[in-house]
């Protein structure tokens, strides 16, 4: 399989000859082999594992995102990703960086929620007139 990891502003890497991939979704971990049917999955923050003959198992800490498999191509689009060899260090990175929102991001989400709520309220009032 061909694995491509995309971040919002760059392509992290593109690997060919990937023999298997294991990713985490809200329902648990699942694996991809080269002949699996095409699929799409919403990823949660966690560890993504892929294996190649030359590198063996490689671990990536990934933030939430999407995985899409079409034919031999697997595209993973995530907000953030870290590559590493120490699984414990990557798990800690997921817990510290990906699962906790910083104060700025929380404030932005709060403002966006208020804007969306206000917009929907005004739209509902407009439709009743």
Please check the confidence at residue 75 and state whether its pLDDT lies above 70: yes
pLDDT tens for each residue of 22-68? 999 989 999 999 998 999 999 998 889 999 999 889 999 888 899 99
How confident is the model at residue 110, as a pLDDT? 81
Contact yes or no for 5/76 (Cβ under 8 A): yes
CA-to-CA separations, 5 to 48, 92, 103, in angstroms, rounded: 11, 21, 27
Please check the confidence at residue 115 and state whether its pLDDT lies above 90: no
Which of 96, 98, 37 minimizes the C-alpha distance to 70?
A: 37
Q: Is 77 left (phi over 0), alpha (psi -120 to 50) or beta?
A: beta
């Amino acid at each position: 399989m061909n694995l491509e990891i995309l971040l919002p502003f760059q392509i992290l890497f593109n690997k060919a000859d990937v023999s298997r991939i294991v990713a985490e979704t809200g329902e648990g971990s699942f694996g991809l082999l080269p002949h699996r049917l095409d699929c799409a999955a919403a990823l949660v923050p966690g560890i993504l594992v892929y294996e190649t003959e030359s590198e063996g198992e490689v671990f990536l800490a990934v933030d939430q995102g999407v995985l899409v498999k079409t034919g031999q191509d697997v595209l993973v689009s995530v907000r953030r990703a870290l590559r590493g060899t120490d699984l414990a260090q990557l798990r800690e990175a997921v817990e510290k960086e990906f699962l906790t929102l910083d104060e700025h991001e929380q404030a932005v989400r709060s403002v966006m929620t208020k804007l969306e709520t206000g917009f929907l309220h005004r739209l509902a009032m407009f439709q009743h007139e």
